[in-house]
């Protein structure tokens, strides 16, 4: 018994000494146990290993865009533009010989018939201003607007701008749902967008696509650029809303390149920043005013651009309008224009935008290269003459 008791006392003292030593080691070398377990590969919880190696969950888009549509759709209206056209009945000769000789002939007096053009529009002001496309309402005698809640209002044309193909209408109605306009820098290539409009009379139709490109130039002579999208656009969509996934207006749908050009999924919208500028000017003055130098431009050839900063590529003058501001300032064909006022010129489209943004009558310094030699001159801008759209419009 005495021997057993002595053994137990010895074991107890050994355990106490061991625990004390472990405590001291843990104080002097923190995490030594974890390092030993990692070294020998024992004691690691399985859940830690799986958590450390598990990949991040992929980010996916929303399962539905119904919330965006519910915010934007009430602001999109149907437009019915009516006009009377004159036609003349033609009656064919019944005798085959006379048909070959004379074809048809007028059969009595001319008659008039009513034609209706379908389109879409967007309510942009509680005062009743509606943005749409000019080609939807051009030459219309009567314009009716169908609101989301079923009300019908007669519209009058406040003004139109052919270069952007935009028109501003005014309706007299209360409690109007005004669309929320997105930040001007909110659109990026690859963003999901929704087109809302009245294609083929199917009101409040929603289609989805992505922004295929921004800053598209549809005419070398126009200062305006467009958003390209693959959202489905059809006849009647013109003037409708292009919105982001928050239901905010990012553009006004305007045209598509259809199957006649062997193209699918290529549509264009006017950026909301451009549309807002047109809207404000038409409300203020009834028309849009743009600055003009009286010259045409093209891209700088690579050889002519050697040694120039990449951020100031410039534009080459191709033609000068006789008697225009550029001619009066001594600008010549083949001049490379690098700077307009305080702005570096990136390319011809960039020059057009800066030029159009200046007020007619303002004086601006132009600098560039002529036969490799720097030059400066001052141009007094005129008002840009009316321009007709060069693209064929559909939708």
**Are residue 79 and residue 125 in the same domain, yes or no?**
yes
Whether the predicted pLDDT of 27 surpasses 50: no
- The catalytic residue among 135, 225, 267, 296 is 135
Model pLDDT for residues 34-50, shown as the tens digit of each residue: 554 454 444 444 444 44
Q: Look up 75 and say whether it is catalytic.
A: no
Domain that holds residue 158: 75-171
Is residue 30 assigned to a domain? no
Q: What is the CA radius of gyration of the chain?
A: 35
**Of 8 and 338, the one with more pLDDT:** 338
Q: Is the dihedral of CA 69, 72, 74, 77 positive or negative?
A: negative
| Residue 263 forms part of a structural domain | yes
Q: Provide the domain count of the chain.
A: 3
- Based on the domain organization, do 153 and 197 belong to the same domain? no
* Residue that finishes a domain, picked among 258, 285, 312: 285
125 is annotated as an active-site residue = no
Shared-domain flag, residues 123 and 208: no
Verify that 271 and 323 share a domain, yes or no: no
Give tens-digit pLDDT for 125-167.
999 999 999 999 998 999 999 999 999 999 999 999 988 899 9
Judging by DSSP bridges, how do beta strands 90-92 and 104-106 pair with one another?
antiparallel
In the listed set 120, 137, 171, which residue is the last one of a domain according to the structure? 171
Active site residue 238: yes
Active-site pick, 165, 225, 296, 350: 165
Task: Tell whether 390 is covered by a domain.
Answer: no
Q: Is residue 22 situated within a structural domain?
A: no
- Say if residue 214's pLDDT is above 60: yes
137 domain-assigned: yes
Say what the pLDDT of residue 93 is. 58
96: CATH: 2.40.10.10
Residue 8 located in a structural domain: no
pLDDT on residue 153: 95
State the catalytic residue, choosing from 120, 212, 222, 238: 238
The residue among 285, 302, 323 that closes a domain is 285
| pTM for this model (two decimals) | 0.73
| pLDDT for position 264 | 75
> In terms of pLDDT, which residue wins out, 112 or 36?
112
CA distance 26 to 33: 8
Residues 227-271: pLDDT tens digits? 999 998 888 899 999 999 999 999 999 876 655 556 678 889 999
């Amino acid at each position: 018994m005495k021997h057993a008791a002595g053994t137990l006392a010895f074991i107890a003292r050994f355990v106490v000494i061991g625990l004390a030593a472990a405590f001291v080691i843990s104080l002097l070398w923190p995490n030594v146990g974890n390092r030993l377990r990692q070294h020998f590969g024992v004691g690691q919880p399985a859940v830690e290993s799986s958590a450390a190696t598990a990949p991040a969950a992929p980010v996916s888009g929303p399962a539905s865009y119904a919330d965006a549509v519910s915010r934007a759709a009430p602001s999109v209206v149907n437009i019915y533009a009516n006009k009377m056209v004159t036609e003349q009945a033609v009656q064919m000769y019944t005798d085959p010989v006379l048909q070959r000789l004379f074809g048809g002939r007028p059969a009595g007096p001319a008659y008039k018939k009513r034609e209706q053009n379908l389109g879409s529009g967007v309510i942009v002001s509680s005062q009743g201003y509606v943005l749409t496309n000019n080609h939807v309402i051009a030459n219309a005698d009567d314009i009716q607007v169908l609101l989301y809640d079923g009300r019908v209002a007669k519209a009058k044309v406040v003004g139109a701008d052919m270069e952007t193909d935009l028109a501003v209408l005014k309706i007299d109605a209360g409690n109007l749902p005004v669309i929320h306009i997105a930040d001007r820098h909110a659109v990026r290539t690859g963003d999901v967008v929704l087109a809302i409009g009245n294609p083929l009379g199917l009101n409040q139709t929603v289609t989805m696509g992505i922004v295929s490109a921004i800053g598209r130039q549809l005419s070398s002579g126009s200062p305006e650029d467009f958003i390209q999208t693959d959202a489905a656009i059809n006849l009647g969509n013109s003037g409708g809303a292009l919105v982001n996934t928050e239901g905010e207006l990012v553009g006004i749908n305007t045209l598509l390149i259809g199957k006649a050009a062997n193209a699918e999924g290529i549509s264009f919208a006017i950026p909301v920043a451009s549309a807002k500028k047109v809207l404000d000017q038409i409300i203020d003055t009834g028309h849009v005013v743009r600055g003009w130098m009286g010259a045409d431009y093209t891209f700088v050839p690579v050889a002519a651009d050697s040694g120039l900063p990449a951020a100031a590529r410039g534009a080459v003058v191709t033609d000068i309008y006789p008697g225009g501001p550029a001619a009066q300032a001594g600008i010549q064909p083949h001049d490379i224009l690098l700077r307009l006022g305080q702005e570096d010129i990136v390319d011809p489209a960039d020059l057009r935008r800066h030029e159009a943004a200046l007020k007619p009558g303002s004086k601006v310094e132009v600098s560039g290269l002529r036969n490799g030699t720097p030059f400066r001159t001052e141009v007094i801008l005129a008002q840009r003459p009316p321009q007709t759209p060069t693209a064929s419009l559909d939708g």
